[in-house]
């Protein structure tokens, strides 16, 4: 089975796993007066994350979902209004902050442009007309097909936020993909957000972990929120060591994922019923299957039976995600299967 479901399926290499054996460990859940834990390997990872993002402090969490949730619940209180886009991952699948029996935050929506980045005019209008407490952006954007937010758009949103005194949180689950795709340094991208979450366990290839980075006082407060959510950990250096290895050795590997995505995109052009986007920017291709006469779930199941495993992005869209798991020969075989399936529709 050729598996293109997600870059979360990446497996740690032997060299990455070997770093665990020599990692010094401690109790990362026991915080000192400055909010730092007692695991030296976790602290090393948090310091490295600060260096890469340009933020004051960072915090290790088990997942990106917890990272985003901790951020929102640290910034906001129940019934506060949060500005998000209509297809943002932290709303589509991480709804805990907006559930009536949990976070109780109120979503206010803006749309993405046809190019897949925030509609600045809608953001500005919402800030002017609503009592917004937090602006959320996603970079790269999953549902939009791995698009990155252009620098001029980041600057405009920052200007709007500063004018209203509203902080910005960036869901940067694939932050380093955004950097590779845009050519912008990670620090520059992060400079336009007050806080950013990025995942170690997607294309970077670590088995677990996400980082929340931001200002000193915010992260100290976020550590308390993490504790309340059950995110206090003990010898977390066991997986923090893998995160350090990923950040030190595997960031540039993302370029290959993007190249393979582009290679597949070019080879799939000219399909009859399954439609490609106009272009792609990173490691994700969203397929529009509306003209197939079948739902995305049905198409994904059909193609899976032929040996290629995709994922459902929406009722009418399927998703191909490229990662370090995939090879050139897999792409060639998958393209042949998808083209043959499309011809049979």
Write the CATH number for 37. Answer: 3.40.640.10
pLDDT 10s digits, 193-237: 999 999 999 999 999 999 999 999 999 999 999 999 999 999 999
Q: What pLDDT does residue 33 have?
A: 87
Q: Is 220 in the same domain as 296?
A: no
- Does 135 lie in the same domain as 207? yes
pLDDT of the residue at 35 = 87
Residues 227 and 214 in one domain: yes
The reply to whether 260 and 279 lie within a common domain is yes
Q: Enumerate helices (H) and strands (E) in the chain, giving the number of each.
A: 13, 12
| Cα separation, 176 vs 75, whole angstroms | 24
260 and 131, same structural domain?
no
C-beta pairs of 158-162 under 8 Å, 24+ apart in sequence = 158/192, 158/193, 160/120, 160/123, 160/124, 160/127, 160/135, 161/127, 161/135
Asked if residue 5 is part of any domain, the answer here is no
Give the per-residue pLDDT at 278: 96
Same-domain check for residues 227 and 281: no
Q: Are residues 60 and 140 in the same domain?
A: yes
Q: Where is the domain boundary, 231, 249, 267? A: 249
Residue at which a domain ends, from 182, 214, 249: 249
273 and 225 fall within a common domain = no
pLDDT at residue 161 in the model: 98
Q: How far apart are CA 27 and CA 232, in angstroms?
A: 9
- Same domain? 157 vs 208: yes
Cα separation, 29 vs 27, whole angstroms: 5
Domain-located, residue 115 = yes
Domain end marker among 230, 249, 268: 249
What was the pLDDT predicted at 265? Answer: 98
Which residues span the domain enclosing 305? 253-344
CATH number for the domain harbouring residue 305? 3.90.1150.10
Write the burial class of residue 79 (CB in 10 Å: 0-12 exposed, 13-18 middle, 19+ buried): exposed
Below-70 pLDDT ranges, the chain: none
User: How many domains would you assign to the chain?
Assistant: 2
Percentage of residues of the chain with pLDDT beyond 90: 98
């Amino acid at each position: 089975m050729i598996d293109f479901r997600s870059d979360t399926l990446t497996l740690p290499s032997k060299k990455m796993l070997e770093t665990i054996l020599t990692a010094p460990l401690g109790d990362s859940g026991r915080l000192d007066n400055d909010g730092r834990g007692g695991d030296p390997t976790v602290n090393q990872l948090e310091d490295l994350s600060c260096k890469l993002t340009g933020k004051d402090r960072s915090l290790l969490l088990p997942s990106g979902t917890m990272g985003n949730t901790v951020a929102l619940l640290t910034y906001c209180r129940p019934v506060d209004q949060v500005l998000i886009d209509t297809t943002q991952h932290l709303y589509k699948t991480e709804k805990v902050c907006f559930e009536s029996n949990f976070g109780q935050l109120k979503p206010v929506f803006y749309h993405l442009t046809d190019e897949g980045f925030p509609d600045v005019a809608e953001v500005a209008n919402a800030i002017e007309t609503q009592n917004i407490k937090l602006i959320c952006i996603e970079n790269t954007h999953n549902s939009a097909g791995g698009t990155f937010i252009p620098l001029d758009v980041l600057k405009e949103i920052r200007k709007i936020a500063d004018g209203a005194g509203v902080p910005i949180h960036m869901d940067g689950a694939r932050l380093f993909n955004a950097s590779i795709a845009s050519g912008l340094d990670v620090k520059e991208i992060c400079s336009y957000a007050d806080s950013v979450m990025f995942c170690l366990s997607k294309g970077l290839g670590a088995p677990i972990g996400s980082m929340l980075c931001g200002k000193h006082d915010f992260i100290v407060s976020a550590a308390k929120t993490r504790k309340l959510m059950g995110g206090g950990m003990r010898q977390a250096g066991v997986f923090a060591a893998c995160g350090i290895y990923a950040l030190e050795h595997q960031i540039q590997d993302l370029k290959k994922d993007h190249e393979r995505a582009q290679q597949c995109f070019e080879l799939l052009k000219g399909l009859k019923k399954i439609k490609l986007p106009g272009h792609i920017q990173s490691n994700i291709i969203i397929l529009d299957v509306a003209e197939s006469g079948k739902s995305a779930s049905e198409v994904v199941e059909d193609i899976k039976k032929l040996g290629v495993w995709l994922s459902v992005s929406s009722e009418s869209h399927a998703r191909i995600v490229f990662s370090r798991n995939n090879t050139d020969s897999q792409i060639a075989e998958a393209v042949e299967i998808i083209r043959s399936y499309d011809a049979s529709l």
